Amino acid sequence: MSYGFTDRYADQIVLVTGGAQGLGRAMVQRFAAEGARVHFADLNAAAGAEVLASLDGDGHAFDQVDITDPTAARTWIDGVAADQGRIDVLVNNAGIIRDNRIENISSEDWDAVLAVSLSGSFHCTQAAFAHMRERRYGRVLSFSSMSWRGNFGQVNYVAAKAGVVGFTRGFALEGAKHGVTANAIAPGLIETPMLASMNGPAHEKLVGKVPMRHTGQPEDIAAAAAFLCSPEARYITGVVLDVDGGIGIGSSIR
């Protein structure tokens, strides 16, 4: 897949979690198209192999990794650092939903959502930071959601994504003196398998709330990620970037 981009990421080592589908897939392809050597993780081995085969350039790799397991996350990241000599970028993208009203959310569904989005981001960042700090350079991008401000029937997802915002801002303060930035993206309604699972009337109702009156594409998120993780974004840290067609602005009376 050719995007005609420059080699902004030439020879950089980029890691992406949840890279086999949806937003992760788009980012993996974008970073590869810009010259990066991309190492991505996911639990879906078949989808991961398919994405790997689609990538431009050489030096890419897919690994089946459960990032909720701190040992597995560290083993993966330490292994990439040992093989490649460094880690330049970490994208904490993996996430799941287990939506329900609070009275119907099981403790297992609560734990699962926080384990992937929040604890998984922590495990991977902690492991990657050890390598970035040594070189005094790194970019960590984590994924929140427009839902972090609150959303009906998603208290577990909201808690996880709000946690990602707090985690990003706190880590940004620790990473700054070591040349490591930490930012987050809060996507709005993006055409992914997760959104596609929503029934027609609910989907149309949500789209109607977007000021731009349409959903975004995974490539819109990949473009924002490619900027925030680039050398050009060296003076940006602790930021949560809404990529949402304006839905985060609030309702208009007109």
Q: Which amino acids are annotated catalytic?
A: 157
Return the HEC string of 95-152: CCCCCCCHHHCCHHHHHHHHHHHHHHHHHHHHHHHHHHHHHCCEEEEEECCHHHHCCC
- In which residue are the tokens 């401000």 written? 149
Q: How far is CA 19 from CA 62, 90, 152, 228, in A?
A: 9, 12, 28, 17
Residue 169 makes CB contacts below 8 A (sequence gap 6+) with 182, 238
Task: Identify which of 44, 69, 31, 11 has the alpha carbon closest to the alpha carbon of residue 225.
Answer: 31
